[in-house]
Chain A
Amino acid sequence: MPSFQQFRLPDAGEGLTEAEIAAWHVAVGDTVAINQTIVEIETAKSLVDLPSPFAGVVTRLLVEEGTTVEVGTPIIEIDTDPTGDAPADAAPGAGPEVPVHGPTSDADPVQAGAPVARHASPSPEPSEAPEAEEPGGAVLVGYGTAAAPTARRARFTSAEGDVDAGAAGPEATAAGAAPVRPATAGPGASRGSAPAAAPATMPTVRPGAVPTGEPAAVSGRRALAKPPVRKLARDLGVDLDSVVPTGPGGIVTREDVLAHQAGAEARVLATYPGDDQPWLASGTVSPDGRQTRVPVKSVRKRTAEAMVTSAFTAPHVTVFQTVDVTRTMKLVRRLREDKEFADVRVTPLLIAAKALLLAVRRHPDVNASWDEAAQEIVYKHYVNLGIAAATPRGLVVPNIKDAHRLGLHDLAEGLAALTSTARAGKVTPRDMSDGTITITNVGVFGIDTGTPILNPGEAAILAFGAIREQPWVHKGKIKVRHVTQLALSVDHRLVDGALGSMVLADVAAVLEDPAQALVWG
């Protein structure tokens, strides 16, 4: 008989709570072997390949690429007995009827993610929520919280007095508090669909997820919360006792306080393939429906951090130049017909990249970075040329390693490789690390120019604008020429206006007359 096993998202780092499914390496119907790489995930720390814990045939991919899910979420289902000749219990490590495998596999056979399921306290209300909707409880192997918090276990009430009389330790206090907390399961379970815990792939807006239970259901006790959370609640003016707790042991977490403040009616917005507004993924809609709040994650978060770091530590100065690139366009046309360049794509950006490399060669002091900690300027004797790229996963700046060594043909290959990697969303941290200078090609959007923000750790960034046919004074007459605008932002801590201007003038000179490259090359 078929034996379906699910693999839960593990914690690939220490204490990570979530990860993004970056790319599936297998598809439904594929046969996989134990330890074969099945998926690439992106955590807050790195891109990580996950090996399959099972041998078998993939029957379902449970999470879409690009979706961020919590540790403990089943991500793939594999049939470990597709031929059907093994006995049902032969699958490695599988429990009798609960084949979910991964971080919580050794926990209670009842869903480890559902600690309340075993809650047997004398609740006056029937539990309203299905067990699988329970929040949290994803146990990280080796150091996570236990699946069933102490305070939730049923006590023999008769024994209570004995123990509490015998000691006054923290466990005793927690245990003593348990029986007098009624109905933790009701609203707590509903809150399981609050933003942080909601699967982002649910296909509809889920009004049913709105916690309908009144805070009264959890009244009559003092809320449990850690001191920083108490302070947060105080600062925000939130009454802790009215917050529905989702933490282990019924404690109020930071997220609970924030969710409470955001308004109990906030609704989880779902996305689905083909959604024409993917940026709204996992957001919550305001009660009046006029706003959606989306948690900042992943590439967006890192871009924001990088830009804030750069904009507020490196004083930017930007210089501009308008330049006649008609000869560059002629060169591009000629190279496109050149047999040597038949296998690569020749673009004006390629010539601009070469021009910038030549400018760096003439002014190597622009290819540097500011080391604040050491109070040193680091001059790089190599150029890792960054190209800002808009990708499906956001803005990334991979770089071409040792671009200063590349001839025009190899540079074209490097650009092509970088572009295709970026488009496929496969840019690795290594691709993005140790850039020394960057080009942002705003011209592809038809834009004349802009004032680019430096990639952190670099001292200069060139914006390459759109190339337009314009009237231009050429040899004393007004002619129609190909004209573009260049902008160069520099870190004024180490690059003065004079140096920035000379670098930009060199780039412009090569684009205006590529033969200049011969003189300087």
Chain B
Amino acid sequence: MSTSGPLTDDGLVQLLTPAGERVDHPGYSARVAHLDADALRGLYRDMVLVRRFDTEATALQRQGELGLWAQSLGQEAAQVGSGRALAPQDYVFPSYREHGVAHTRGLDLTQLLQLFRGVDHGGWDPEEFNFHLYTLVIGSHTLHATGYAMGVQRDGAVGTGDPERDTAVVTYFGDGATAQGDVNEALVFAAVNNAPLVLFLQNNQWAISEPTTRQARVPLAARGPGFGVPSVRVDGNDVLATYAVTAEALERARSGGGPTLVEAFTYRMGAHTTSDDPSRYRSAAEEDYWRQRDPIDRLEKHLAATGELSEEFRAGLAAEADALGERVRTFVRALGRPATSTMFDHVYATPHSVVDAERAWFERYEASFAGGEHR
């Protein structure tokens, strides 16, 4: 890749090369030293399952079972690595492609599909998983995250030294979002308020069809210091490096050290969504280049080379992935239409007289038909 501009390799933290070899980094090796072979296999399993889920969801869209799907293919390491660095009390504001993070938060992946089938505005209770609903508007949720982080600050859940209490907030967004006003405002507010926020930027290099080179003349992480936000660039296809830099940023946030901008340099190997055809705007050679840097392959190579990937484990994981695919398929096909009246359910957190009146009218209206509930 180039040596300057937004696509440079300069300054990328890497702990695992594409060939699967561990490399030392003076600042970050220590943060993954405690990850033993079991932990590495766990990360590998996470990524394999997320990819299988993503593949199945893509197929379901092509079969008319989902209205739309946003693939996470190629970004598993950035998502699983950062997600596994989180503590239970940390709170995540994702955009709409963070299937890997959702998995690490304990969501059953099937829940994600209700939104994409159009039967639910969300699909899960954010408070249960500390994982906010997907946000389709580009970048707006980074402000919500900043506000939430300022709230955490005011709750006194920062810098107490109690590892069960100190809380960080993480928001996920993409390279395209960095050109949005909202993201820049979030950086301003987070910086001046010293909010306990990690701004996790997955630079997958394509904002739909617009390349990063059309959005920046410098590495995106270089924008952080201008706002007074410490920044780090990490090889986003390296699950260990992603884990390490996120762990550091989370620790800074929880301890009262303020926000961090993490740029995970990765690649969107699939289409932007199932409505998009990337072959129209990027070359096969570019895709090949990144296929050789596949996040799952490199951990697999490492585990195989160190004798930690038994045939038994592989077979078990393959069966688990197949079962997940089957479960996802069955779940989606069984999803019924929601009752129309559910649209009144979550308009306000507390009872509201106008909504109540509208609900009552609607119920009377529905009751006026033969055959009952509108379908």
| B63 neighbours in A (Cβ, 8 Å) | 7, 10, 50-53, 101-102
Given contacts A142-B119, A156-B368, A163-B365, contact A45 B330 (CB under 8 A): no
Q: How far is the CA of A222 from the CA of B279 in the complex (A)?
A: 49
Inter-chain contact A159/B64, CB cutoff 8 Å: no
Interface stretch (choices B181-189, B303-311, B332-340): B332-340
Query: Contact partner of B375 among A11, A101, A108, A433, CB < 8 A?
Result: A108
Enumerate chain B residues within 8 angstroms of A156, measured Cβ to Cβ.
368-370
Residue B116 interfacial (CB < 8 Å): yes
B14-22, B30-38, B65-73, B95-103: which lies at the A interface?
B65-73
Task: Knowing A47-B277, A162-B364 are in contact, say whether A106-B336 is a contact too (CB < 8 A).
Answer: yes
- Chain B residues positioned under 8 Å from A45 (CB to CB): 275-277
B117 at the interface (CB under 8 A from A): yes
Query: Which parts of B252-310 form the interface with A (CB within 8 Å)?
Result: 273-277, 279-281, 284
Q: Are B62 and A143 in contact (CB under 8 A)?
A: no
B interface SS class: loop
B313: Cβ under 8 A from any A Cβ? no
Q: Which of B61, B63, B65 has the most CB of A within 10 A?
A: B63
Q: Which of chain A's residues 418-449 have a Cβ closer than 8 Å to chain B?
A: 428-430, 433
Name B333's closest neighbour in chain A (CB-CB): A93
Given A142-B117, A146-B374, A162-B368; A12-B62 close (CB under 8 Å): yes
- B41 adjacent to chain A (CB < 8 Å): no
Write the A10-50 contact mask toward B (1 if CB under 8 angstroms, else 0): 11111000000000000000000011000000000111111
B318 contacts partner chain A, Cβ-Cβ < 8 Å: no
- Nearest-CB residue, chain B, relative to A434: B283
B361, A167: Cβ atoms closer than 8 Å = yes
Is the pair A50, B375 in contact by a Cβ cutoff of 8 Å? no
In the assembled complex, the CB of B120 is this many whole angstroms from the nearest CB of chain A, namely: 10
Measured CB to CB, the nearest residue on chain A to B55 is A35
| Interface residues as binary, A111-155 with B (CB distance below 8 Å gives 1, 0 otherwise) | 000000010100000000000000000001111001110100111
B369–A154 CB distance below 8 A: yes
Asked if A166 and B118 make an inter-chain contact with CB atoms under 8 angstroms apart, the answer reads no
Q: When the two chains form their complex, are residues A51 and B62 in contact, meaning their CB atoms are under 8 A apart?
A: yes
A84-107 interface (Cβ within 8 A of B): 92-93, 101-103, 105-107
B367 in the interface (beta carbon within 8 A)? yes
Is A8 an interface position by the 8 A CB rule? Answer: yes
Interface pair B279/A163, CB less than 8 Å apart = no
Determine if B223 is an interface residue (Cβ-Cβ < 8 Å).
no
Q: Are B64's CB and A11's CB within 8 A? A: yes
Q: Which residues of B contact A10 (CB under 8 A)?
A: 61-65
What 1/0 mask marks residues of chain B from 30 to 66 whose CB sits below 8 Å from any chain A CB? 0000000000000000000000000010010111111
A435-B84 Cα distance, complex, nearest whole Å? 45
A120 & B64 in contact (Cβ 8 Å cutoff):
no
B368: nearest chain-A partner, CB-CB: A159
- Kindly list chain B residues whose C-beta atoms are within 8 Å of the C-beta of A35: 56, 59
Give chain B residues whose Cβ lies under 8 Å from the Cβ of A9.
Answer: 64
The reply to whether A142 and B369 form a contact with Cβ atoms under 8 Å apart is: no
The verdict on A428 contacting B369 (CB below 8 Å), with A49-B62, A147-B375 known, is no
- A153→B371 CA distance, assembly (Å): 9
Q: Do B375 and A146 touch (CB < 8 A)?
A: yes
User: CA A105 – CA B65 in complex, angstroms?
Assistant: 8
A7 to B370, CA, bound (A): 32
Partner pick for B280 among A14, A107, A429, CB 8 A cutoff: A429
Indicate if A172 sits at the interface (CB-CB under 8 A).
yes
Per the bound structure, the CA–CA distance linking A224 and B23 in Å amounts to 69
* Complex: chain B residue closest to A9, CB-CB: B64
Interface centre among A45, A155, A430 (most CB of B within 10 A): A430
With A141-B117, A428-B279, A429-B280: A120-B67 Cβ-Cβ less than 8 Å: no
Using CB atoms and an 8 Å cutoff, list the residues of chain B in contact with chain A. Answer: 56, 59, 61-68, 116-119, 273-277, 279-281, 284, 329-330, 333-337, 361, 364-365, 367-371, 374-375
Q: Which residues of A does B touch, CB under 8 Å?
A: 7-14, 34-35, 45-53, 92-93, 101-103, 105-108, 118, 120, 140-143, 146-148, 150, 153-156, 159-160, 162-163, 166-167, 169, 171-172, 175, 428-430, 433
